[in-house]
Amino acid sequence: MIKSKADIMVFENAQKQLEKAKKHVKLAQETEETLKYPTETFSFSIPVRMDDGTLKVFEGHRVRYNDARGPTKGGIRYHPGVTIDEVKALSFWMVIKCAVINIPYGGGKGGITVDPQKLSKGELERLSRGWMRKAYRIVGPDRDIPAPDVYTTGQIMAWMMDEYSIITGTYSPAVITGKPLSLGGSLGREYATALGGYYCIKEAAGKVNPGKTVAIQGFGNAGSHMVRLLAADGYKIIAVSDSKGGAHLEAGFEYEKLISVKKREKHVDAYPGCNKITQEQLLELDCDILILAALENQVTKDNAARVKAKMIVELANGPTTPEADDILYQKGIFLVPDILANSGGVCVSYFEWVQNKQGYYWKEDDVNAKLHEKMVEEFNATFDIHKNRKIDMRTAAYVLALGRIDEATKAKALY
């Protein structure tokens, strides 16, 4: 596949964020050097017999970026735009994210270049098992632990876990997280990304007091659960979008009605009485909180100056470019970065892995309480660096993470 400029930019953006943070933290030479390159990069073809009898070949990837702090961890996404450069960037962000939330993991990521909505259930299963048949040599319960990401589900994780168990001859629930409860999944995992972001919003509210009108770009798993949590807490959701377009309603959306419309009509802009808007228009609405829960590179140097929100929360990975970060910070917009805001998902994935290892499973309230403790602790650690060093929240989160990665790298005394 020919790399586009956008594909390459994703990884370059990740490296720019790293370089910016390094000005505020002293790293050992070996830490700097090992963070420049992925530990392992694996691309492969996945032949799949389609329902009509033809054979189609899909491109799959898995990257283990850095394992200084433990086994690598990160999701698998199914999307037509998946490239190795995107996967490298996402795996790098997972290194930082796991260190920010302070769980004993490094970072990894995977994906398949595919539109899963064009596949039957049988084709999707054969594709998913095919990915694991290739990737099993790089993953493992103590080496690299995948999870769901864009357009992947608990069912897909179940197929992959089962395939790995068949290949290795050992029942291995800890090889992958985000599984159904019946196969070792954790209570609370389905909505953990949104809940972690919600805890960040509640902590931020006591410090920067942004207000309660909200626009959300992206109505997938994380975005829809965030709407549920915020609506129940008295926040007014005035705009929401999905892959087909956006909807604006100044009076605010009713969560149950919005879910019903999405399920029935397949797109949110069918909500009665709403104004149809574009993704770009949603980003520039006059609101208190803008939640980015879609894909990378949504707020850029070209539109950042027109963002009116008082606070941005990144539930997606990489939705804001480094150039946009600088503009938003100068405008006084408080941004909760992806490596903190959406770390609830990997945190509860870690809890799932621990439960799989123990063979003992926790109550949902216990999972959520442990997540709350983690998110509050690390949000405040990041916020303290932000205030004390007078740097933006993303750079503060990087400083926190890099210090932890540096400590682990030096302790290993790499040869």
Q: Coil, strand or helix: which one is 59?
A: strand
State pLDDT tens for residues 311-361.
999 999 889 999 999 999 999 999 999 999 999 999 999 999 999 999 999
Residues facing residue 59 across a β-bridge = 45
Residue 318 near residue 297 (C-beta atoms within 8 A): yes
What are the structural domain ranges in the chain? Answer: 37-176, 192-341
Region of 82 (left: φ > 0; alpha: ψ -120 to 50; beta: rest) is: beta
* Per-residue confidence band for 45, with pLDDT thresholds at 50, 70 and 90: very high
State pLDDT tens for residues 106-156.
999 999 999 999 999 999 999 999 999 999 999 999 999 999 988 999 999
Q: Are strands 236-242 and 213-217 parallel, antiparallel or unpaired?
A: parallel
Verify whether residue 109 is a known catalytic residue.
yes
Average pLDDT, the chain: 94
State pLDDT tens for residues 10-28.
778 878 888 888 899 999 9
Residue 359 near residue 171 (C-beta atoms within 8 A): no
Lowest pLDDT segment from 6-10, 298-302, 404-408: 6-10
Query: Does 37-176 match 192-341 in CATH topology?
Result: yes
Q: How far is CA 402 from the centre of its chain?
A: 19
Structure tokens given for 345: 């998902």
CA distances to 33, 206, 324, 402 from 379, rounded to whole Å, are 28, 12, 22, 16
State pLDDT tens for residues 156-209.
999 999 999 999 999 999 999 999 999 999 999 999 999 999 999 999 999 998
**Residue tagged active-site, from 73, 109, 262, 374:** 109
Q: Are strands 144-148 and 55-66 parallel, antiparallel or unpaired?
A: unpaired
Whether pLDDT at 4 is above 80:
no
State pLDDT tens for residues 60-74.
999 999 999 999 999
Whether pLDDT at 375 is above 80:
yes
- Cα angle, residue 345 at apex, residues 343 and 346 outer, rounded to 5°: 70
pLDDT for position 3 = 47
First to last CA, the chain: 36
The architecture (CATH level 2) of 192-341 comes to 3-Layer(aba) Sandwich (3.40)
State pLDDT tens for residues 72-99.
999 999 999 999 988 998 899 899 999 9
pLDDT for position 1 = 41
Q: Which of 270, 275, 210 shows the shortest CA–CA distance to 239?
A: 275
Rounded-to-integer distance, Cα 276 and Cα 287, Å? 17
Whether pLDDT at 6 is above 60:
no
* Per-residue confidence band for 415, with pLDDT thresholds at 50, 70 and 90: low
pLDDT for position 14 = 78
Q: Which residues in 385-401 are b (16+ Cβ under 10 Å) and which e?
A: bbeeeebbbbbbbbbbb
Q: Domain 37-176 belongs to what topology?
A: Rossmann fold (3.40.50)
